[in-house]
Structure 1
Amino acid sequence: MIYELRIYDIHPGKMQAINDRFAHFTLSIFAKHGMRVTEFWQDIDDNRNRLYYVMEFSDMEARNQSFESFYNDPEWQEVKSETEKEGPIVAKVESVFLRQVPYFPQP
């Protein structure tokens, strides 16, 4: 199992827009493509404008196939276009790939 920590730098004034997009659209489109989000956070420092979430995949190939399907999904393309009519929401996306260590107990 691999985990992907995704870190989004959000354009100023767009935090509500990204939260709304995830809540109303993105998470259900992820699910349609078998993509599982395990955790979600917003930076406690509002000046940082950062959103963090962790996704779980069986391996890197499954991750890449899932994202390719997601990005090519007409529903996602329409949602992205509609929600960004007043400009982009996300300034930068960073991904960190992780695997669990054997000595820490899993819940």
Structure 2
Amino acid sequence: MLHELRIYTMYPGRLDAIEQRFSQHTLGIFERLGMKVTDFWIDQTGLPKLYYVMEYADMEERQRQWNAFRTDPEWNEIKRKSEESGPIVEKLEEIFMTRAPYFKA
């Protein structure tokens, strides 16, 4: 099992825009495409960041799912509309992880 921690840093004043985009659109598109989000957090220190973890069978599944997402017509229209007043995400970090064999969830 492969997990991906995705960390988004927003441009100043754009945290509400990303939260709206995820809550109203992106998470639903992920679900429709079979993409599994295991948890989702908003930074509580005042930084314009959010964090979420995706789960995949392997890197090949991850690549297939993200390719489908990037070319999805609904996603591309939502992204275009949500960025009419400027870009939202300043920086995206992608960290790939596997669970330590000695940790039991």
Using the size of structure 1 for normalisation, the TM-score is: 0.96
* AA aligned opposite 2:25: F
1:12 equivalent in structure 2:
12
- Name the amino acid aligned to 1:49: P
C-alpha distance in structure 1 between counterparts of 2:86 and 2:16, whole Å? 14
| Identity level (%) | 49
Alignment of 1:9-48 (within 5 A): 9-46=9-46, 48=47
Distance 2:74 2:13 in 1: 25
1:102: which partner in 2? 101
Unaligned 5+ segments in structure 2 are none
SS in 2 for 1:5: strand
Paired residue type of 1:45: T
Please state how far the C-alpha of 1:24 moved relative to its aligned partner.
0.3
TM-score (norm 2): 0.98
What is the CA–CA distance in structure 2 between the aligned matches of 1:32 and 1:62, rounded to whole Å?
15
Tell me the number of residue pairs that the alignment of Structure 1 and Structure 2 aligns: 105
Q: Indicate the RMSD between aligned Cα atoms, in angstroms.
A: 0.6
1:37-75 CA-to-partner distances (Å, cap 9, x unmatched) read 0111111111x2111000000000000000000000000
Partner of 1:84: 83
The CA deviation at 1:93 is 0.5
CA distance in 2 between counterparts of 1:60 and 1:70 reads 15
Following TM superposition, the consecutive aligned residue runs of length 4 or more in structure 1 with deviations greater than 6 angstroms are none
Separation of aligned partners in 1, 2:40 and 2:29: 16
Q: Which residue of 1 is the match for residue 63 of structure 2?
A: 64
